[in-house]
Amino acid sequence: MWWIFALLSAFFAALTAIFAKIGVENVNSNLATAIRTVVVLVMIWLIVFFRQEYKGFGELSQRNWFFLGISGVATGLSWIFYFKALQMGEASKVAGVDKLSLALTIIFAVLFLGETLTWRTAVGATLIIAGTLFLISK
């Protein structure tokens, strides 16, 4: 079932790139990122309240707070740089390079989470890196 959610994530990420490229035209990229962030913030809190998932708020540990917090900082930085790149470059290339995050996630998961690197995953990550380099080469 996880792969259905992953496919939906990829689908909406693709729409994000297209809509953001159109929306960031003639707009400061940081302002565009702030607007997007407010929309995401309102949307997710409405979902949390509608589904009454806020009840788990008190169960968060300090470790949860810390890692969710720095994940939020990383997300914010990612969005800031993504919008600036979209403003300056072609959406298809920016989104392609952005997907290099998959190969980096594989590397980081092996190094920091102790996940196993299979030959298939290694080949896939290598192809992603090669594809990214091919995409941005002139």
CA dihedral 84, 107, 128, 80 (to 10 degrees): -10
As given in the structure block, the two tokens for residue 32 are 């565009």
- List the Cα angle 81/70/116 in 5-degree steps: 95
As given in the structure block, the two tokens for residue 68 are 């969710």
Residue matched to tokens 């989470």? 113
Which amino acid, 120? R
Tens-level pLDDT at each residue, the chain (138 residues): 888 988 888 888 889 889 999 999 999 999 999 999 999 999 999 999 999 998 888 899 999 999 999 999 999 999 999 999 999 999 989 988 998 999 999 999 999 999 999 999 999 999 999 999 998 887
Question: Residue 137: its pLDDT value, please?
Answer: 86
As given in the structure block, the two tokens for residue 111 are 């190094």
- pTM of the entire predicted model: 0.83
* Domain boundaries defined on the chain: 2-89, 99-138
Burial label for 34, CB within 10 Å (0-12, 13-18, 19+), is middle
How far apart, in Å, are the Cα atoms of 46 and each of 22, 52, 92, 127? 26, 10, 32, 39
Question: Residue 112: its pLDDT value, please?
Answer: 95
Question: Residue 6: its pLDDT value, please?
Answer: 87
Nearest to 19 by CA among 40, 4, 2: 40
How far apart, in Å, are the Cα atoms of 90 and each of 17, 32, 53, 130? 10, 17, 39, 19
Question: Residue 36: its pLDDT value, please?
Answer: 93
Burial label for 32, CB within 10 Å (0-12, 13-18, 19+), is buried
